[in-house]
Amino acid sequence: MTLHIIRNGEKSVYTVAETDGTLLQVLNEIKTTQDASLSFASGCRSSVCGSCAVRVNGKEVLACAYKPQSGDVVEPLKNVPLIRDLVVDMEKALSFNKVAKSWAVSPEILPAVTPDAAEINEVQSDCILCGACYSACPVYAVNSEFIGPFALTRNWRYVSDVREDDVAGKIAAVQTNGIWDCTLCGECVPVCPQGIAPKSDIDMLRNKSNVLGYMDPKYASFGGGLDFGAPSF
């Protein structure tokens, strides 16, 4: 089996025995038997930590879950700075969780959570911050400050939580470089190893924003110069 690995922009070709193992196992084999300088990230080896995401033939996958085929082209994630070979710097991408205020603000007295209410954001809670959706998102070609799919999904996870005490603050946090900059292309959906659909969560955030008095800035000028005023909560 032949594997093409894009290392710092150059293609390296490795030949390994056919295997039913994962891409991560093959990368480990190459590193231990052929090329100790090959760099890649990994942790749990069981699709939990999110550290091993790469692109294969242009699609984002977890190396510890993907079964490689001969001829595969393996590359680092897009939209993030390259450190070396398949290792990328996720610092800026992860900082968008802070921009999106993606954490819980709890009231003094917590309301009871019914099973139905708990189910609303069960899937979003499973995000492993692998960055696959961030890499697949085309918006970064034109806006490097876009808050991005996983931080917006995380924002919706808290906005939709019946225990959240600062929904208005969280919605306000994603108006600039956030929900209205998404093209709803859906590229972030099929690459998510956790079955999360950031596009749908962004759509929900748009609906919630409309309810709270915000509107898509692209359409704000259609009011013939009318002043829609500040959002009212």
Interface residues with ligand SF4 (CB under 6 A) are: 50, 127-133, 136-137, 139, 149-150, 153, 182-188, 191-194, 196, 198-199, 202
Rounded-to-integer distance, Cα 120 and Cα 40, Å: 35
How far is the C-alpha of 102 from the C-alpha of 91, rounded, in Å? 16
Q: What b/e string do you get for 21-31 counting C-beta neighbours within 10 Å, with b at 16 or more?
A: ebbbbbbbebe
Q: In this chain, which stretch among 5-13, 36-44, 80-88, 223-231 interacts with ligand FES, using CB under 6 A?
A: 36-44
| CA distances for 159 relative to 171, 190, 208, 209, 217, angstroms | 8, 24, 9, 11, 21
Work out what residue 136 binds among ligand SF4, ligand FES, none; the CB cut-off runs from 5 to 8 Å by kind. ligand SF4
> Residues 25, 28, 47, 160: which binds ligand FES (CB under 6 A)?
47
Point out which span in 40-48, 89-97, 99-107, 204-212 binds ligand FES (CB under 6 A): 40-48
The contacts found for 35-38 with CB under 8 angstroms, 24 or more apart, are 38/5, 38/7, 38/12, 38/85
Q: Which helix (H) or strand (E) holds 12?
A: strand 10-15
Phi, psi (5° rounding) for residue 167? -60, -45
Binding partner selected for residue 62 from ligand FES, ligand SF4, none, CB under the kind-specific 5 to 8 Å limit = ligand FES
Contact stretch for ligand FES (CB under 6 A) within 39-47, 75-83, 137-145, 178-186: 39-47
Residue 63 or 191: the one with the smaller Cβ distance to ligand SF4 is: 191
CB of 73 to ligand FES, least distance (A): 19
List of residues contacting ligand FES (CB under 6 A): 42-45, 47-52, 62, 64
